[in-house]
Chains A and B, each alone.
Chain A
Protein backbone atom coordinates (compact mmCIF):
# COMPACT_ATOMS: atom_id res chain seq x y z
CA UNK A 1 0.00 0.00 0.00
CA UNK A 2 1.37 3.35 -0.95
CA UNK A 3 1.00 5.92 1.75
CA UNK A 4 0.79 9.08 -0.32
CA UNK A 5 -0.50 9.20 -3.87
CA UNK A 6 0.81 11.48 -6.60
CA UNK A 7 -1.96 14.02 -6.00
CA UNK A 8 -0.94 14.22 -2.35
CA UNK A 9 2.69 14.83 -3.29
CA UNK A 10 1.66 17.48 -5.77
CA UNK A 11 -0.32 19.22 -3.01
CA UNK A 12 2.66 19.03 -0.65
CA UNK A 13 5.04 20.48 -3.24
CA UNK A 14 2.59 23.25 -4.08
CA UNK A 15 2.18 24.11 -0.40
CA UNK A 16 5.93 24.37 0.13
CA UNK A 17 6.30 26.54 -2.98
CA UNK A 18 3.50 28.82 -1.79
CA UNK A 19 4.83 29.13 1.76
CA UNK A 20 8.38 29.82 0.58
CA UNK A 21 7.25 32.51 -1.88
CA UNK A 22 5.04 34.18 0.68
CA UNK A 23 7.70 34.10 3.39
CA UNK A 24 10.27 35.71 1.13
CA UNK A 25 7.78 38.35 0.03
CA UNK A 26 6.77 39.07 3.61
CA UNK A 27 10.36 39.49 4.78
CA UNK A 28 10.79 42.14 2.08
CA UNK A 29 7.45 43.84 2.74
CA UNK A 30 7.26 43.26 6.48
CA UNK A 31 10.67 44.64 7.40
CA UNK A 32 9.98 48.29 6.44
CA UNK A 33 6.53 48.06 8.02
CA UNK A 34 8.01 46.65 11.23
CA UNK A 35 10.72 49.32 11.21
CA UNK A 36 8.19 52.10 10.79
CA UNK A 37 5.92 50.70 13.50
CA UNK A 38 8.85 50.33 15.88
CA UNK A 39 10.03 53.91 15.45
CA UNK A 40 7.21 56.17 14.38
CA UNK A 41 5.54 58.64 16.70
CA UNK A 42 2.81 59.26 14.16
CA UNK A 43 -0.73 59.27 15.44
CA UNK A 44 -1.48 56.73 12.71
CA UNK A 45 0.64 54.15 14.50
CA UNK A 46 -2.28 52.51 16.30
CA UNK A 47 -4.34 52.50 13.13
CA UNK A 48 -1.53 50.80 11.20
CA UNK A 49 -0.91 48.32 14.03
CA UNK A 50 -4.59 47.43 14.10
CA UNK A 51 -4.67 46.93 10.32
CA UNK A 52 -1.60 44.70 10.38
CA UNK A 53 -3.04 42.58 13.22
CA UNK A 54 -6.49 42.18 11.70
CA UNK A 55 -5.91 38.85 9.89
CA UNK A 56 -5.30 37.30 13.35
CA UNK A 57 -8.87 37.97 14.44
CA UNK A 58 -10.78 37.88 11.14
CA UNK A 59 -12.25 34.54 10.14
CA UNK A 60 -10.74 33.23 6.88
CA UNK A 61 -14.22 33.24 5.36
CA UNK A 62 -14.32 37.04 5.71
CA UNK A 63 -10.88 37.47 4.16
CA UNK A 64 -11.60 34.96 1.41
CA UNK A 65 -15.00 36.41 0.64
CA UNK A 66 -13.73 39.98 0.30
CA UNK A 67 -10.64 38.92 -1.63
CA UNK A 68 -12.90 37.04 -4.04
CA UNK A 69 -14.95 40.21 -4.57
CA UNK A 70 -11.93 42.56 -4.68
CA UNK A 71 -10.00 40.41 -7.14
CA UNK A 72 -13.07 39.56 -9.23
CA UNK A 73 -13.84 41.22 -12.58
CA UNK A 74 -15.90 43.96 -10.91
CA UNK A 75 -13.56 44.56 -7.97
CA UNK A 76 -10.89 47.31 -7.94
CA UNK A 77 -8.00 44.83 -7.75
CA UNK A 78 -9.54 42.70 -10.50
CA UNK A 79 -9.94 45.75 -12.75
CA UNK A 80 -6.33 46.71 -12.13
CA UNK A 81 -4.91 43.24 -12.83
CA UNK A 82 -6.98 43.01 -15.99
CA UNK A 83 -5.79 46.42 -17.15
CA UNK A 84 -2.20 45.31 -16.52
CA UNK A 85 -2.79 42.24 -18.66
CA UNK A 86 -2.31 39.78 -15.77
CA UNK A 87 -5.92 38.64 -15.91
CA UNK A 88 -7.89 37.71 -12.83
CA UNK A 89 -6.15 36.45 -9.69
CA UNK A 90 -8.65 34.00 -8.18
CA UNK A 91 -7.97 30.37 -9.16
CA UNK A 92 -4.29 31.11 -9.86
CA UNK A 93 -1.10 30.50 -7.90
CA UNK A 94 -0.46 34.26 -7.95
CA UNK A 95 -3.85 34.82 -6.34
CA UNK A 96 -2.95 32.44 -3.53
CA UNK A 97 0.32 34.29 -3.00
CA UNK A 98 -1.49 37.64 -2.72
CA UNK A 99 -4.12 36.25 -0.35
CA UNK A 100 -1.60 34.43 1.83
CA UNK A 101 0.54 37.55 2.06
CA UNK A 102 -2.36 39.37 3.68
CA UNK A 103 -3.17 36.41 5.82
CA UNK A 104 0.33 35.82 7.19
CA UNK A 105 1.39 39.49 7.44
CA UNK A 106 1.02 39.88 11.23
CA UNK A 107 2.90 36.66 11.90
CA UNK A 108 5.98 38.10 10.19
CA UNK A 109 5.69 41.78 11.09
CA UNK A 110 5.05 41.40 14.80
CA UNK A 111 8.13 39.33 15.76
CA UNK A 112 10.39 41.60 13.68
CA UNK A 113 8.82 44.71 15.21
CA UNK A 114 9.25 43.34 18.74
CA UNK A 115 12.90 42.54 18.07
CA UNK A 116 13.53 46.02 16.64
CA UNK A 117 11.85 47.68 19.60
CA UNK A 118 13.96 45.60 21.98
CA UNK A 119 17.17 47.04 20.50
CA UNK A 120 16.37 50.50 21.81
CA UNK A 121 17.78 53.82 20.54
CA UNK A 122 21.27 53.43 22.06
CA UNK A 123 23.04 51.18 19.49
CA UNK A 124 21.79 53.37 16.63
CA UNK A 125 22.99 56.54 18.37
CA UNK A 126 26.40 54.97 18.83
CA UNK A 127 26.47 53.94 15.18
CA UNK A 128 25.58 57.49 14.16
CA UNK A 129 28.41 58.97 16.25
CA UNK A 130 30.73 56.55 14.46
CA UNK A 131 29.47 58.16 11.23
CA UNK A 132 27.56 55.14 9.98
CA UNK A 133 24.95 56.09 7.41
CA UNK A 134 21.38 55.05 8.31
CA UNK A 135 21.57 52.34 5.66
CA UNK A 136 24.88 51.05 7.00
CA UNK A 137 23.56 51.19 10.56
CA UNK A 138 20.50 49.22 9.54
CA UNK A 139 22.54 46.42 7.95
CA UNK A 140 25.37 46.23 10.46
CA UNK A 141 23.46 47.01 13.67
CA UNK A 142 19.73 46.44 13.38
CA UNK A 143 19.69 43.28 11.25
CA UNK A 144 22.20 41.32 13.36
CA UNK A 145 20.62 42.42 16.65
CA UNK A 146 17.08 41.71 15.45
CA UNK A 147 18.06 38.36 13.96
CA UNK A 148 15.95 36.27 16.35
CA UNK A 149 12.94 38.36 15.33
CA UNK A 150 13.58 37.80 11.62
CA UNK A 151 14.02 34.10 12.26
CA UNK A 152 10.82 33.85 14.30
CA UNK A 153 8.93 35.90 11.70
CA UNK A 154 10.14 33.72 8.84
CA UNK A 155 9.30 30.48 10.65
CA UNK A 156 5.87 31.68 11.75
CA UNK A 157 5.06 33.14 8.33
CA UNK A 158 6.06 29.92 6.60
CA UNK A 159 4.21 27.68 9.04
CA UNK A 160 1.12 29.81 8.99
CA UNK A 161 0.95 29.79 5.19
CA UNK A 162 1.36 26.02 5.18
CA UNK A 163 -1.54 25.75 7.62
CA UNK A 164 -3.81 28.12 5.73
CA UNK A 165 -7.15 26.64 4.76
CA UNK A 166 -10.15 28.91 4.65
CA UNK A 167 -8.79 31.61 2.37
CA UNK A 168 -7.40 29.11 -0.15
CA UNK A 169 -10.68 27.25 -0.12
CA UNK A 170 -12.58 30.47 -0.81
CA UNK A 171 -10.50 31.78 -3.71
CA UNK A 172 -8.51 28.77 -4.91
CA UNK A 173 -11.00 26.79 -6.95
CA UNK A 174 -9.37 23.53 -5.83
CA UNK A 175 -7.36 23.06 -9.03
CA UNK A 176 -4.86 20.16 -8.80
CA UNK A 177 -1.28 21.37 -9.05
CA UNK A 178 -2.29 25.05 -9.16
CA UNK A 179 -4.32 25.85 -6.05
CA UNK A 180 -5.03 22.58 -4.26
CA UNK A 181 -2.78 22.82 -1.22
CA UNK A 182 -2.38 20.21 1.52
CA UNK A 183 -5.06 21.56 3.85
CA UNK A 184 -7.65 21.52 1.04
CA UNK A 185 -6.54 18.05 -0.03
CA UNK A 186 -7.08 16.81 3.55
CA UNK A 187 -10.53 18.41 3.61
CA UNK A 188 -11.35 16.66 0.31
CA UNK A 189 -10.27 13.29 1.70
CA UNK A 190 -12.33 13.78 4.85
CA UNK A 191 -15.40 14.89 2.91
CA UNK A 192 -15.05 11.90 0.60
CA UNK A 193 -14.80 9.68 3.71
CA UNK A 194 -11.30 8.55 2.64
CA UNK A 195 -10.13 8.65 6.21
CA UNK A 196 -7.00 6.53 5.63
CA UNK A 197 -5.67 8.96 3.02
CA UNK A 198 -6.65 11.89 5.20
CA UNK A 199 -4.69 10.41 8.11
CA UNK A 200 -1.41 10.23 6.19
CA UNK A 201 -1.50 13.91 5.32
CA UNK A 202 -3.08 15.09 8.55
CA UNK A 203 -0.62 13.24 10.76
CA UNK A 204 2.15 14.67 8.61
CA UNK A 205 0.84 18.16 9.33
CA UNK A 206 0.75 17.48 13.06
CA UNK A 207 4.37 16.31 12.96
CA UNK A 208 5.41 19.26 10.80
CA UNK A 209 3.85 21.88 13.03
CA UNK A 210 5.42 20.33 16.13
CA UNK A 211 8.87 20.37 14.54
CA UNK A 212 8.45 23.96 13.36
CA UNK A 213 7.41 25.21 16.78
CA UNK A 214 10.14 23.18 18.47
CA UNK A 215 12.61 24.83 16.11
CA UNK A 216 11.16 28.22 16.93
CA UNK A 217 11.40 27.81 20.69
CA UNK A 218 14.89 26.30 20.46
CA UNK A 219 16.40 28.86 18.11
CA UNK A 220 14.67 32.06 19.12
CA UNK A 221 15.35 33.32 22.64
CA UNK A 222 12.80 36.05 22.04
CA UNK A 223 10.00 33.59 21.48
CA UNK A 224 11.18 31.60 24.47
CA UNK A 225 10.73 34.60 26.69
CA UNK A 226 7.26 35.56 25.52
Chain B
Protein backbone atom coordinates (compact mmCIF):
# COMPACT_ATOMS: atom_id res chain seq x y z
CA UNK B 1 0.00 0.00 0.00
CA UNK B 2 2.70 2.39 1.03
CA UNK B 3 4.62 1.81 -2.15
CA UNK B 4 1.53 2.70 -4.18
CA UNK B 5 1.26 6.00 -2.33
CA UNK B 6 4.92 6.68 -3.03
CA UNK B 7 4.45 5.82 -6.70
CA UNK B 8 1.51 8.20 -6.85
CA UNK B 9 3.55 10.99 -5.31
CA UNK B 10 6.50 10.40 -7.62
CA UNK B 11 4.59 10.20 -10.88
CA UNK B 12 1.69 12.41 -9.93
CA UNK B 13 -0.73 10.04 -11.60
CA UNK B 14 -3.32 9.62 -8.88
CA UNK B 15 -4.91 13.05 -8.78
CA UNK B 16 -8.28 13.28 -7.06
CA UNK B 17 -11.28 12.90 -9.34
CA UNK B 18 -12.39 16.52 -9.12
CA UNK B 19 -9.07 17.99 -10.26
CA UNK B 20 -7.94 17.52 -13.82
CA UNK B 21 -4.65 18.11 -15.55
CA UNK B 22 -4.36 20.40 -18.57
CA UNK B 23 -1.34 19.93 -20.79
CA UNK B 24 -0.36 23.16 -22.51
CA UNK B 25 2.15 23.54 -25.33
CA UNK B 26 3.35 27.13 -25.13
CA UNK B 27 5.58 29.24 -27.35
CA UNK B 28 8.93 29.87 -25.63
CA UNK B 29 8.45 33.65 -25.66
CA UNK B 30 5.23 33.30 -23.67
CA UNK B 31 6.35 30.71 -21.15
CA UNK B 32 7.14 33.19 -18.32
CA UNK B 33 3.77 35.00 -18.38
CA UNK B 34 2.01 31.66 -18.89
CA UNK B 35 3.68 30.25 -15.79
CA UNK B 36 2.24 33.13 -13.81
CA UNK B 37 -1.22 32.77 -15.37
CA UNK B 38 -1.16 29.01 -14.78
CA UNK B 39 -0.36 29.53 -11.09
CA UNK B 40 -3.35 31.83 -10.71
CA UNK B 41 -5.56 29.43 -12.63
CA UNK B 42 -4.48 26.50 -10.44
CA UNK B 43 -5.27 28.46 -7.30
CA UNK B 44 -8.66 29.53 -8.63
CA UNK B 45 -9.80 26.22 -10.13
CA UNK B 46 -7.96 23.41 -8.38
CA UNK B 47 -6.94 22.00 -11.74
CA UNK B 48 -3.32 21.30 -12.51
CA UNK B 49 -1.50 22.85 -15.48
CA UNK B 50 1.46 21.18 -17.16
CA UNK B 51 3.44 23.53 -19.41
CA UNK B 52 5.67 22.41 -22.27
CA UNK B 53 7.49 25.40 -23.73
CA UNK B 54 9.07 25.11 -27.16
CA UNK B 55 9.49 26.59 -30.61
CA UNK B 56 6.13 26.73 -32.35
CA UNK B 57 7.39 24.70 -35.34
CA UNK B 58 8.67 21.97 -33.04
CA UNK B 59 5.43 21.95 -31.06
CA UNK B 60 3.51 21.61 -34.32
CA UNK B 61 5.55 18.56 -35.31
CA UNK B 62 4.98 17.04 -31.87
CA UNK B 63 1.22 17.62 -32.02
CA UNK B 64 1.02 16.08 -35.50
CA UNK B 65 2.80 13.06 -34.09
CA UNK B 66 0.43 12.53 -31.22
CA UNK B 67 1.97 14.56 -28.41
CA UNK B 68 -0.47 14.69 -25.46
CA UNK B 69 -1.30 18.42 -25.42
CA UNK B 70 -4.76 19.89 -24.77
CA UNK B 71 -4.03 23.48 -25.63
CA UNK B 72 -1.56 25.30 -27.87
CA UNK B 73 -0.41 28.85 -27.29
CA UNK B 74 1.56 29.52 -30.45
CA UNK B 75 3.99 32.31 -31.35
CA UNK B 76 2.10 32.98 -34.57
CA UNK B 77 -1.39 32.80 -36.01
CA UNK B 78 -0.56 30.44 -38.88
CA UNK B 79 0.21 27.30 -36.90
CA UNK B 80 -3.08 27.18 -34.95
CA UNK B 81 -5.01 27.89 -38.18
CA UNK B 82 -3.14 25.11 -39.92
CA UNK B 83 -3.85 22.65 -37.10
CA UNK B 84 -7.51 23.57 -37.30
CA UNK B 85 -7.56 23.01 -41.08
CA UNK B 86 -5.85 19.68 -40.67
CA UNK B 87 -8.31 18.50 -38.06
CA UNK B 88 -5.97 18.51 -35.06
CA UNK B 89 -7.69 21.43 -33.34
CA UNK B 90 -11.26 22.25 -32.40
CA UNK B 91 -12.92 24.65 -34.86
CA UNK B 92 -13.87 28.12 -33.63
CA UNK B 93 -11.77 27.98 -30.44
CA UNK B 94 -8.88 29.88 -32.02
CA UNK B 95 -8.30 33.44 -30.85
CA UNK B 96 -5.47 35.95 -30.46
CA UNK B 97 -4.29 35.88 -26.84
CA UNK B 98 -1.44 38.36 -27.26
CA UNK B 99 0.11 40.63 -29.85
CA UNK B 100 3.87 40.57 -29.77
CA UNK B 101 5.90 43.75 -29.99
CA UNK B 102 9.33 44.16 -31.44
CA UNK B 103 12.07 45.94 -29.51
CA UNK B 104 15.60 47.01 -30.38
CA UNK B 105 17.61 46.15 -27.29
CA UNK B 106 21.17 46.42 -26.01
CA UNK B 107 22.34 44.86 -22.75
CA UNK B 108 24.22 48.09 -22.05
CA UNK B 109 22.49 51.29 -20.95
CA UNK B 110 22.86 54.31 -23.22
CA UNK B 111 23.54 52.38 -26.42
CA UNK B 112 20.05 52.47 -27.92
CA UNK B 113 18.50 55.94 -28.25
CA UNK B 114 14.75 56.41 -28.09
CA UNK B 115 14.43 56.75 -31.87
CA UNK B 116 16.55 53.78 -32.90
CA UNK B 117 19.10 56.07 -34.57
CA UNK B 118 21.86 53.66 -33.57
CA UNK B 119 20.71 51.39 -36.42
CA UNK B 120 21.46 54.11 -38.98
CA UNK B 121 24.78 55.12 -37.46
CA UNK B 122 25.88 51.53 -37.87
CA UNK B 123 28.74 51.70 -35.36
CA UNK B 124 28.18 48.15 -34.13
CA UNK B 125 29.42 44.75 -35.25
CA UNK B 126 26.46 42.45 -34.74
CA UNK B 127 22.70 42.75 -34.77
CA UNK B 128 20.94 39.62 -33.52
CA UNK B 129 17.55 38.59 -34.86
CA UNK B 130 15.54 35.38 -34.69
CA UNK B 131 15.57 33.16 -37.77
CA UNK B 132 13.12 34.96 -40.12
CA UNK B 133 12.28 31.67 -41.80
CA UNK B 134 11.01 30.01 -38.66
CA UNK B 135 10.31 32.66 -36.02
CA UNK B 136 7.60 35.35 -36.35
CA UNK B 137 9.77 37.84 -34.48
CA UNK B 138 12.58 37.25 -36.97
CA UNK B 139 10.19 37.83 -39.84
CA UNK B 140 8.98 41.06 -38.20
CA UNK B 141 12.58 42.18 -37.64
CA UNK B 142 13.43 41.76 -41.33
CA UNK B 143 10.24 43.57 -42.29
CA UNK B 144 11.00 46.51 -40.01
CA UNK B 145 14.60 46.77 -41.24
CA UNK B 146 13.39 46.63 -44.83
CA UNK B 147 10.87 49.43 -44.25
CA UNK B 148 13.58 51.51 -42.60
CA UNK B 149 15.66 50.97 -45.74
CA UNK B 150 18.45 49.38 -43.69
CA UNK B 151 18.11 45.68 -44.41
CA UNK B 152 20.47 45.42 -47.38
CA UNK B 153 23.13 47.51 -45.67
CA UNK B 154 22.98 45.58 -42.42
CA UNK B 155 22.87 42.07 -43.84
CA UNK B 156 26.53 41.39 -43.15
CA UNK B 157 26.03 42.28 -39.49
CA UNK B 158 23.04 40.03 -38.87
CA UNK B 159 23.37 36.94 -36.69
CA UNK B 160 20.44 34.62 -36.33
CA UNK B 161 19.31 32.78 -33.25
CA UNK B 162 17.22 29.80 -34.06
CA UNK B 163 14.57 31.16 -31.75
CA UNK B 164 13.93 34.56 -30.29
CA UNK B 165 15.23 33.17 -26.97
CA UNK B 166 18.56 32.39 -28.56
CA UNK B 167 18.75 35.81 -30.20
CA UNK B 168 18.23 37.28 -26.72
CA UNK B 169 21.09 35.13 -25.41
CA UNK B 170 23.44 36.50 -28.08
CA UNK B 171 22.70 40.06 -26.94
CA UNK B 172 22.57 39.37 -23.19
CA UNK B 173 26.00 37.71 -23.31
CA UNK B 174 27.41 40.74 -25.12
CA UNK B 175 28.39 38.81 -28.26
CA UNK B 176 26.00 40.97 -30.25
CA UNK B 177 25.72 44.64 -29.27
CA UNK B 178 22.15 44.91 -30.50
CA UNK B 179 19.18 42.68 -31.10
CA UNK B 180 15.67 42.95 -32.48
CA UNK B 181 13.82 40.94 -29.87
CA UNK B 182 10.42 40.37 -28.33
CA UNK B 183 9.52 43.19 -25.97
CA UNK B 184 8.30 40.56 -23.48
CA UNK B 185 11.88 39.36 -23.06
CA UNK B 186 13.18 42.64 -21.66
CA UNK B 187 10.00 44.02 -20.17
CA UNK B 188 8.56 43.22 -16.74
CA UNK B 189 5.77 44.93 -14.80
CA UNK B 190 5.50 47.71 -17.37
CA UNK B 191 9.16 48.76 -17.44
CA UNK B 192 12.47 47.87 -19.09
CA UNK B 193 14.35 45.33 -16.95
CA UNK B 194 17.90 46.37 -17.96
CA UNK B 195 20.01 47.86 -20.74
CA UNK B 196 18.61 50.29 -23.27
CA UNK B 197 15.80 49.85 -25.76
CA UNK B 198 13.71 51.33 -28.53
CA UNK B 199 10.22 49.92 -28.96
CA UNK B 200 9.93 49.59 -32.73
CA UNK B 201 6.81 51.44 -33.99
CA UNK B 202 4.09 48.98 -34.89
CA UNK B 203 3.64 50.72 -38.24
CA UNK B 204 6.95 49.18 -39.36
CA UNK B 205 5.85 45.54 -39.27
CA UNK B 206 2.74 43.41 -39.51
CA UNK B 207 1.27 42.64 -36.08
CA UNK B 208 2.77 39.55 -34.47
CA UNK B 209 -0.47 37.79 -33.59
CA UNK B 210 -0.02 34.94 -31.18
CA UNK B 211 -3.00 32.63 -31.36
CA UNK B 212 -4.24 29.99 -28.96
CA UNK B 213 -6.34 27.00 -29.95
CA UNK B 214 -7.98 24.06 -28.21
CA UNK B 215 -6.46 20.85 -29.53
CA UNK B 216 -8.46 17.76 -30.44
CA UNK B 217 -7.21 15.90 -27.38
CA UNK B 218 -8.57 18.60 -25.05
CA UNK B 219 -11.93 18.90 -26.81
CA UNK B 220 -13.94 17.22 -24.08
CA UNK B 221 -11.88 18.35 -21.13
CA UNK B 222 -13.65 20.80 -18.86
CA UNK B 223 -10.32 21.90 -17.36
CA UNK B 224 -8.90 22.79 -20.79
CA UNK B 225 -11.96 24.86 -21.66
CA UNK B 226 -11.78 26.54 -18.26
CA UNK B 227 -8.15 27.52 -18.82
CA UNK B 228 -8.97 28.89 -22.28
CA UNK B 229 -11.71 30.97 -20.67
CA UNK B 230 -9.39 32.08 -17.86
CA UNK B 231 -6.86 33.30 -20.46
CA UNK B 232 -9.46 35.73 -21.79
CA UNK B 233 -10.27 37.07 -18.31
CA UNK B 234 -9.06 40.25 -16.65
CA UNK B 235 -6.49 38.60 -14.39
CA UNK B 236 -4.71 36.91 -17.29
CA UNK B 237 -4.92 40.02 -19.47
CA UNK B 238 -3.24 42.08 -16.77
CA UNK B 239 -0.33 39.62 -16.68
CA UNK B 240 -0.09 39.58 -20.49
CA UNK B 241 0.07 43.40 -20.60
CA UNK B 242 2.63 43.59 -17.79
CA UNK B 243 4.99 41.53 -19.98
CA UNK B 244 4.76 44.07 -22.78
CA UNK B 245 2.32 42.33 -25.09
CA UNK B 246 -0.51 44.15 -26.81
CA UNK B 247 -4.07 42.90 -26.59
Chain B neighbourhood of A71, CB < 8 A:
175
Whether, in the assembled complex, A175 has its beta carbon less than 8 Å from a beta carbon of chain B, the answer is: yes
Docked pose: A91 CA to B156 CA in angstroms: 11
Whether, in the assembled complex, A73 has its beta carbon less than 8 Å from a beta carbon of chain B, the answer is: yes
Chain B neighbourhood of A88, CB < 8 A:
125, 175
Q: How many A-B residue pairs have CB under 8 A?
A: 61
Q: Which of A69, A72, A174, A193 touches B162 (beta carbons < 8 Å)?
A: A174
Residue of B nearest to A180 (CB): B160
Chain A neighbourhood of B55, CB < 8 A:
191
B128 → chain A closest CB, angstroms: 8
Docked pose: A184 CA to B166 CA in angstroms: 14
Whether, in the assembled complex, B57 has its beta carbon less than 8 Å from a beta carbon of chain A, the answer is: yes
* B133→A192 contact, CB < 8 A: yes
Contact with A along B64-108 (1 / 0, CB 8 A): 000000000000000000000000000000000000000000000
Query: Measuring CB to CB, which residues of chain A are less than 8 angstroms from any residue of chain B?
Result: 68-69, 71-74, 87-88, 90-91, 169-170, 173-175, 184, 187-188, 190-193
Instruction: Show 27 A/B contacts (Cβ-Cβ < 8 Å), sorted by A.
Output: A68-B169, A73-B174, A88-B175, A90-B170, A90-B175, A91-B159, A91-B175, A91-B176, A169-B166, A170-B166, A173-B126, A173-B176, A174-B160, A174-B162, A175-B159, A184-B162, A188-B131, A188-B133, A190-B57, A191-B55, A191-B131, A191-B133, A191-B134, A191-B162, A192-B133, A192-B134, A193-B57
Query: Measuring CB to CB, which residues of chain B are less than 8 angstroms from any residue of chain A?
Result: 55, 57-58, 60-61, 125-126, 128, 131, 133-134, 158-162, 166, 169-170, 173-176
